[in-house]
Copies of this chain bind each other. A is one copy, B any other.
Amino acid sequence: MTDVVVACGQVQPILGDLAANREITTAAILDAAASGARVIVLPELASSGYAFEDGDEARAAAEPANGPTVTLWQRHAADLDVVIVGGFCEQDVNGTIKNSAALVDPSGLRAIYRKAHLWDAERLIFEPGRLPPPVVDTVVGRLSVMICYDLEFPEWVRLPALAGTQLLCAPVNWPKYPRPEGERPGEVTRVQADAAVNRMFIAACDRVGSERGIDWVGGSTIVDADGWPLAGAKASTEPTVFTASCRLTDANDKGVGGLSNIHADRRPDLYGGALEVALVRPASTNVG
């Protein structure tokens, strides 16, 4: 039961400059590995930048899963003996463009995940994913992958959690919105809740910088199985690489106090179809 060092490489990609972004992500990967990281998470669309004007611009920045960026990450994973999870703009074998993430380890490409919940205008550019987050057994533990807005749908987070994921790796690009003075970014709060109600570690890697009027939170966060932040969890405007030591086996125990077990205590028999009951029950007869 040894701790696993997990890193976020909160970089600033350059829109449309794939070669530069390979250098930028390489630098973050090397930095993280030098700090002892065994798992390195990079932002959403780290290969390409985010703010495409249209599908043509995205297509010009897209690569297949065996393209230069993911191939490079695979080589780094093998050279450094690490797991890397990073977002990239994918053109799949059918020619469609997807907001994807690759999980690579020393043995090669282990999984591609395509974002299922597309944020804002992404739906005008990308085809949404149709498969649940992959659950991948690696040498450091059982990992899963989802992307940014996916984290806002607790049903989606449940799927890899119920499949025994110990660490959910989430490339994100969290757009910056105003928030009340003294408040942590709301996305971080939701990550904390996603982790705590599943007793699962989560590493969400955000980006910094600005593209075409969009700023990002720079709120990369690593939380433990109780949902407490181990690193990050605050807004930043600076590229940074940070790590946290994670006892991933903590995620195997779903006990949350006394007889309570956050997964076993679910009542899935009541979750489907119950809505209709609630709607049709007249106020005057819902007692007894």
- Complex copy number for this chain: 2
Query: A262 interface residue, CB < 8 Å from B?
Result: yes
Assembled-state Cα–Cα distance A266/B157 (Å): 12
A282 smallest CB distance to B (angstroms)? 10
Assembled-state Cα–Cα distance A258/B125 (Å): 14
Knowing A153-B197, A257-B175, A272-B272 are in contact, say whether A134-B281 is a contact too (CB < 8 A): yes
A42 smallest CB distance to B (angstroms)? 18
Knowing A134-B278, A155-B266 are in contact, say whether A260-B193 is a contact too (CB < 8 A): no
Among B152, B284, B286, the residue within 8 A (CB) of A112 is B286
A133 partner residues in chain B, CB cutoff 8 A:
278
Query: A1 interface residue, CB < 8 Å from B?
Result: no
Task: Assess the B136–A283 pair: CB atoms within 8 A.
Answer: yes
A149 smallest CB distance to B (angstroms)? 7
Query: A34 interface residue, CB < 8 Å from B?
Result: no
Assembled-state Cα–Cα distance A194/B193 (Å): 8
Among B144, B159, B193, B260, the residue within 8 A (CB) of A119 is B260
Task: Assess the A228–B183 pair: CB atoms within 8 A.
Answer: yes
A273 smallest CB distance to B (angstroms)? 9
Knowing A270-B132, A278-B135, A283-B136 are in contact, say whether A120-B257 is a contact too (CB < 8 A): yes
Task: Assess the B186–A227 pair: CB atoms within 8 A.
Answer: yes
Knowing A228-B179, A265-B149, A286-B112 are in contact, say whether A154-B274 is a contact too (CB < 8 A): no
Assembled-state Cα–Cα distance A37/B194 (Å): 33
A136 partner residues in chain B, CB cutoff 8 A:
283
A156 partner residues in chain B, CB cutoff 8 A:
267, 270-271
Q: Could you write out 8 A-B pairs with CB less than 8 Å apart?
A: A117-B265, A130-B270, A135-B279, A152-B196, A155-B266, A177-B257, A179-B228, A180-B228
A: residues with CB less than 8 A from B are 65, 92-93, 109-112, 116-121, 123-124, 128, 130-137, 144, 149, 152-156, 158-160, 162-163, 175, 177, 179-180, 183, 186, 189-190, 192-194, 196-197, 226-229, 256-260, 262, 265-268, 270-272, 274-275, 277-279, 281, 283-284, 286-288
